[in-house]
Structure 1
Amino acid sequence: MSGIDKTLHQVFGYADFRPGQRPVIETLIAGRSAAAIFPTGSGKSLCYQLPALHLPHLTLVISPLLALMQDQLSFLRRHGIPAASIDSNQSRDETRAIMEDVAQGEIRILMISVERLKNERFWAFIRRVPLSLMVVDEAHCISEWGHNFRPDYLKLPDARRELGIPQVLLLTATATPKVIDDMCARFTIEACDVTATGFYRPNLDLQVAPVPAEQRPRRLVDWLRPRLTQATPPACIVYVTLQQTAERIAAYLQAAGLPAVAYHAGLDAETRAGLQDEFMAGRSPCIVATIAFGMGIDKADIRAVVHYDLPKSVENYSQEIGRAGRDGAPAECLMLAGGDHLNVLENFAYGDTPERDAIARVIAALPSAGQAWEFTLTTLSRDSDIRPLPLKTLLVQLELRGVIRPRYSYFAEYRFQLLEAAESLAGRFQGERRAFVEAILAASSRARTWHSLDFAALERLGAERGLDTSRRRVITALDYFVDKGWMVLESRQMTEVFDVVARVDDATLITALHDYFSDKEDAEIARLHAMLALFETEDCLTRRLADWFGDARAPERCGHCSACRGEVARLPAPPLPTPLDERDPLALCAPLRALLAEADEADAATPALLARFLCGLTSPRLIRLKARRLAGFAALEAYPYAEVATWLTRRLGQ
């Protein structure tokens, strides 16, 4: 019996590997990097959990969601595997204890979010820790050609090189062939080290039975009633797009006498955790949820997944139905949504496209070539009126075009509270080290019990006294003082620092960036329409879904989807709204224009901003002005954003 087989039996208690796991694990044990493309719930996590016990140093797992970490941590701890996560919900003492265990080699697996790598203090710590393997969970997030693209993921190849991590494992459940090629190219993973097990799930019954919006609540009740009124109701998830829809539909089901609760990101963390625990324990069989629910939910016996609204993409649909029937027993996946929900999803895509003028404001903020560019993301988002996520994408594009290069991120503000007298702290050291500590204390202004560190003043003191007061040394020293229990430390105001490498013609650059975002917008809209075409197919739905992901192993006709049963779907179109030309744009926009004028921002009333307002799409400016409370907000949410923007441009003469 091989070493990995012994570990599988003795540590994890499994008799054999699931499909695809062995080749991935053997590749890692052999010292190469690998990628695993397995459907949701088919055992991707074991592909790093088992090798971590055989590799000499720490396995660092990058995961996009706290829920994913907590679920996997619970599993590892049940099996006696030393693992931990560092996240923003922990106290400073908890984080410090975990970092100490990592430094001592007592932790085999450490899980973090991708944003943690931008934390100055964490980076100073982790670069001193020997690392064997970087695991990138939800690795499709690195590709601009896939769904859920996250700009910060593009930095992971550079982070891997800087940290000297010899091996990488990429994990995803939803990646098209183009996305797989893209993410593997970024980490130089050979095609022979990519394992894909296929997307065909013979136990899932796929049903597309769309109904008009006004009939959908009753149809949902009729479909759920025979299932949820059983003596032991099966676990069901009903997916919706908006938080208010989750609340409304859960209330409707409750009024019909069915056990249902709403779950969405607008609920506080304690409430969400309680709802999830109730669902996992089987005490709350039906969750009506936005996509905030599901990631990291390792419940094997979910018997039904219903899409009340359209999913955001084919990939999202595959991921969400993949939560049903993980135990291999039959499960049902019902699509009720029709084309009447398409405008909402299209407007999400439009809402992430920055205006040309907004891009110009970012470019105008760039200093000359050869200079450093410092900013906080919050401030730049506010000043440019670009949402944080597309703003991050814009910054990455400036990097890829050779305009800027990241130097580092730092907290603009550090403050500390001494737990002993300043003289006592300095007295713990001798010679140059004592002079260094005294300089830190001298460069810190005190307000009652808290000291605020002035790095500029410290740099001047260092130069005067001949001391090394480099930022890295100072941060390392402060963390050491905290570890020893000599001070409490707080850091705030994350600041990004980039070198401006080159300045090109601004107009050309702005046009190129605007075209890039327009192309992404077109691609997102095309993905939505490809999803509608999938649901209306006359061919086997299961086969079409497998084809999307490049899986040729599914049967031509599965026999367990609505298309195979001859139930070809025709998604109902939304009712035609009143023609825009019969609406009064001046009256609709008047409340927002008055508010902008009052704030001395009348010039910001562009057709694009007004269209966002009328379609119910937010932006940093609209959030800051609390425009959601105004009459007219979302008054035209039934119309496509692009159509509203064109209409406003024509009618308002801008």
Structure 2
Amino acid sequence: MESFRQILIKHWGYPDFRPLQLEIIQSVKEGKDTLGLMPTGGGKSITFQVFSLSKPGICIVVTPLIALMKDQVENLNKKGIKALAVHSGMSPREIKLTLDNAVWGSYKFLYVSPERLNSERFLERLKQMEINLLTIDEAHCISQWGYDFRPSYLNIVEVRKFLPDVPVLALTATATPKVVDDIQEKLAFKEKNQLSVSFQRDNLSYLVRQVEDKDGYLLKTLNRVKGSGIIYVRSRKATREIADELRKNKISADYYHAGLSNLVRSVRQDDWVKGKTRVIVATNAFGMGIDKPDVRFVIHLTPPDSLEAYYQEAGRAGRDGKKSAAVLLYNNTDRVKLKKHISVAFPEIANIKRIYEALCNYLQVAIGYGKGMTYEFSLQSFAQAFKFQQAMVYNSLKILQREGFLEFTEEVDNPSRIYFVVSRDELYKFQVANANYDNFIKLVLRSYTGLFSGYVRIDEELLAKRAGIDRDAVYNYLKHLRKSNVIDYVPRSRTPFIYFSKERIAIDRLKISKENYDIRKKDFAERIDAVIHYAGSSDTCRSQILLAYFGEDDAAPCGTCDVCKNVEQLEITTFEFKSYGQRIKKILAEPSTMEGLIFKLKGEPEKMRKILKWYLDNNKIIYRIDGLLEWKE
């Protein structure tokens, strides 16, 4: 145990572990397959990183989040810990070299995107690695009941066959009891072993505000409260518009979404983390891997599609343990839009087939070909070319992904990379024979290290500035060196990409299974209903609703959410209030007069009148035209 703590102090500077971290590490040390359920910001990555550093060998980390993968590799390398990544945004040559380095280069971590797990090259190199742990991040992706199911995660169980004595550590921040069981089954756990902390956040007040004028509420609230926060919205356009409006009203704000360049996103994120920007307005692309403990509020202007997503995003507030708020702005229009989103998320099967055929033609993939290939892909350009709605294309691709035909990644920024494919002696000979390239090559070697052992990120603008030439001249130097087989140069790419998991098939052979359409659609509708229930409930503690959703049915009322605060004014407990509500609903199965209802409730008349007034004011019970009361569903 002490050695684990010493590793933590040495590399991260933390004096001690957070709750559950050490228990997970100990479980894996004992060779047990382990599922760790830790809330957002709980420090999941520390568990596998500390354990792997305590043993010889390399840790394989499976994750679908390429941006997060890159961040973690970069952060580990900054700490002097050697880490690598393999994903579909890389060239075949890059992947080969990376896997070679993983075998022979004394690296400690290899991050792999799931679609790469079943490639012949990966499996071949896997047999040659000394692996101390197989880590599955975002483990809910392996379950068809998870809110982000990815069929490529099912490849993991095949990988386990090559690693019979290597323990598995599965990690997730959000999983219902059904998903928890499914994860362990799909990963072939030798025996069930789940370690978790409660999903309860005592310092976080969950609030739902029923408002029509959301912009007005936002301005009023931000002028009243203090501290840093996040405002989540659905569209990229809305991030910019709302940030502009906040700045006009002298509120320090900026916006963030996946369509911005890597540099812009990095600068805006850093400014917010350091407190230079008070409020960041963002899509759900923002937040993964960001550790800012002093976020005082998270406001959702529109509800997300699932309570898993809401819990994860809201949970970015108050990680320092201080009082914070998670606010959801909600009205009847949101309810209608959420219901409508079910049909949007599941286009007609005929349309999915049309999009598959158009996509293959667009990328010039012939029937019987394409398997294992990666193609740059602009969803917007594709939709415009075929006059498809972008939402229909996006959701069709997600269904085709669940069916296992392809992987669609929205990653938009792969920086330029170079690798010297010649030896130092061969390079020297080239410099002697090509004196006009000598100074540029020396500049590159002075600017970057590790160029002979792997691909290194470069910045053409920086090289141009240091060389006193323009960017096009740098680009031409790099192109010539690549043509001369001195370097491999992969220019920067800012488009998403499609990876074909299977060869293209004829359209009449394309089947969408019941599991991936009808059952998933029903499951999605239930998730939407859970969000509507959470936002629309006025008599059950918000925290209790969330905790019950994640399987914690015996939680006490939080006492700080809007429902608990409203009930507190009636001078009764939330438990009492809910109990009266259930009795009122049962009595009003048949309409009743006010006096008759009070008599049947058999409580103190004055208290009963107060409670019934609350139910009338909140439109839970209504007067009929004949003057009788009835329960409104």
Number of the residue aligned with 2:548: 547
Letter in 1 for 2:322: A
d(CA) in 1 for partners of 2:300 and 2:501?
43
Number of the residue aligned with 2:460: none
- Give the superposition deviation at 1:210: 2.1
- Give the superposition deviation at 1:533: 0.7
- Give the superposition deviation at 1:342: 3.7
- Give the superposition deviation at 1:236: 0.6
Are 2:287 and 1:294 equivalent residues in the alignment? Answer: yes
Are 2:322 and 1:337 equivalent residues in the alignment? Answer: no
Quick check: 2:206–2:561 contact (8 Å CA) kept in 1?
Answer: yes
Letter in 1 for 2:541: C
- Give the superposition deviation at 1:23: 2.3
d(CA) in 2 for partners of 1:419 and 1:90?
16
- Give the superposition deviation at 1:77: 4.6
Number of the residue aligned with 1:448: none
The 3 A distance-change label for structure 1 pair 268 and 209 is same
Number of the residue aligned with 1:313: 306
Quick check: 1:151–1:393 contact (8 Å CA) kept in 2?
Answer: no
- Give the superposition deviation at 1:132: 2.5
Query: Matched residue of 1:513: which SS?
Result: coil
* 1:226 aligns with one of 212, 224, 227: 224
Query: Matched residue of 1:564: which SS?
Result: helix
Structure 1: where are the runs of 5+ without partners?
A: 229-233, 405-416, 425-481, 569-654
Letter in 1 for 2:40: T
Query: Matched residue of 1:565: which SS?
Result: helix
Query: Matched residue of 2:528: which SS?
Result: helix
Number of the residue aligned with 1:621: none
Deviations 1:425-451 (A, max 9, x none): xxxxxxxxxxxxxxxxxxxxxxxxxxx
Number of the residue aligned with 2:597: none
Deviations 1:563-615 (A, max 9, x none): 110179xxxxxxxxxxxxxxxxxxxxxxxxxxxxxxxxxxxxxxxxxxxxxxx
The 3 A distance-change label for structure 1 pair 270 and 126 is farther
* 2:316 aligns with one of 316, 323, 326: 323
Letter in 1 for 2:159: A
The 3 A distance-change label for structure 1 pair 419 and 397 is closer
- Give the superposition deviation at 1:99: 4.9
Quick check: 2:115–2:501 contact (8 Å CA) kept in 1?
Answer: no
- Give the superposition deviation at 1:39: 0.7
Deviations 1:70-111 (A, max 9, x none): 443455456543334346778999878755643334211122
Quick check: 2:62–2:112 contact (8 Å CA) kept in 1?
Answer: yes
Number of the residue aligned with 1:263: 256
Deviations 1:386-438 (A, max 9, x none): 84765565576479xxxx9xxxxxxxxxxxx9989xxx9xxxxxxxxxxxxxx
d(CA) in 2 for partners of 1:494 and 1:220?
38
Quick check: 1:246–1:262 contact (8 Å CA) kept in 2?
Answer: yes
Query: Matched residue of 1:207: which SS?
Result: strand
Letter in 1 for 2:245: Y
Number of the residue aligned with 2:566: 566
d(CA) in 2 for partners of 1:52 and 1:162?
19
Query: Matched residue of 1:40: which SS?
Result: coil
Structure 2: where are the runs of 5+ without partners?
A: 361-366, 407-418, 427-481, 569-633
Number of the residue aligned with 1:47: 47
Quick check: 1:38–1:197 contact (8 Å CA) kept in 2?
Answer: yes
Letter in 1 for 2:18: R
- 1:23-102 superposed matches below 5 A: 23-73=23-73, 75-77=75-77, 79-86=79-86, 99=99, 101-102=101-102
Number of the residue aligned with 2:110: 110
Number of the residue aligned with 2:135: 135
Are 2:193 and 1:200 equivalent residues in the alignment? Answer: no
- 1:235-274 superposed matches below 5 A: 235-274=228-267
- Give the superposition deviation at 1:167: 2.3
Quick check: 1:373–1:497 contact (8 Å CA) kept in 2?
Answer: no
Letter in 1 for 2:550: F
Number of the residue aligned with 1:571: none
- Give the superposition deviation at 1:323: 0.6
The 3 A distance-change label for structure 1 pair 50 and 495 is closer
Letter in 1 for 2:346: T
Quick check: 1:151–1:392 contact (8 Å CA) kept in 2?
Answer: no
Letter in 2 for 1:244: K
Query: Matched residue of 2:44: which SS?
Result: coil
d(CA) in 2 for partners of 1:181 and 1:333?
29
Quick check: 1:29–1:54 contact (8 Å CA) kept in 2?
Answer: no
Number of the residue aligned with 1:145: 145
Q: Which range is displaced more, 216-225 or 130-139?
A: 130-139
Letter in 2 for 1:271: V
Q: Which range is displaced more, 115-124 or 137-146?
A: 115-124
- Give the superposition deviation at 1:248: 1.5
Letter in 1 for 2:320: D
- Give the superposition deviation at 1:182: 0.7
- Give the superposition deviation at 1:379: 12
- Give the superposition deviation at 1:19: 1.9
Quick check: 2:61–2:112 contact (8 Å CA) kept in 1?
Answer: yes
Letter in 1 for 2:219: V
d(CA) in 2 for partners of 1:363 and 1:306?
37
Quick check: 1:71–1:298 contact (8 Å CA) kept in 2?
Answer: no
- Give the superposition deviation at 1:113: 2.8
Could you tell me the TM-score, scaled by structure 2's length? Answer: 0.65
Number of the residue aligned with 2:604: none
Letter in 1 for 2:183: M
- Give the superposition deviation at 1:252: 1.4
Quick check: 1:137–1:171 contact (8 Å CA) kept in 2?
Answer: yes
d(CA) in 1 for partners of 2:134 and 2:540?
41
- Give the superposition deviation at 1:489: 8.4
- Give the superposition deviation at 1:20: 1.6
d(CA) in 2 for partners of 1:18 and 1:81?
22
Quick check: 1:352–1:387 contact (8 Å CA) kept in 2?
Answer: no
Quick check: 1:147–1:315 contact (8 Å CA) kept in 2?
Answer: yes
- Give the superposition deviation at 1:30: 1.5
Number of the residue aligned with 1:279: 272
| Percent of paired sites with the same residue | 32
Letter in 1 for 2:215: P
Bigger relative CO (Cα 8 Å, ≥ 6 apart): 1
Quick check: 2:272–2:278 contact (8 Å CA) kept in 1?
Answer: yes
- 1:167-206 superposed matches below 5 A: 167-189=167-189, 192-206=192-206
Root-mean-square deviation over aligned CA pairs: 4.4
Query: Matched residue of 2:144: which SS?
Result: coil
d(CA) in 2 for partners of 1:267 and 1:6?
39
- Give the superposition deviation at 1:306: 0.4
Quick check: 2:229–2:278 contact (8 Å CA) kept in 1?
Answer: yes
d(CA) in 1 for partners of 2:565 and 2:185?
41
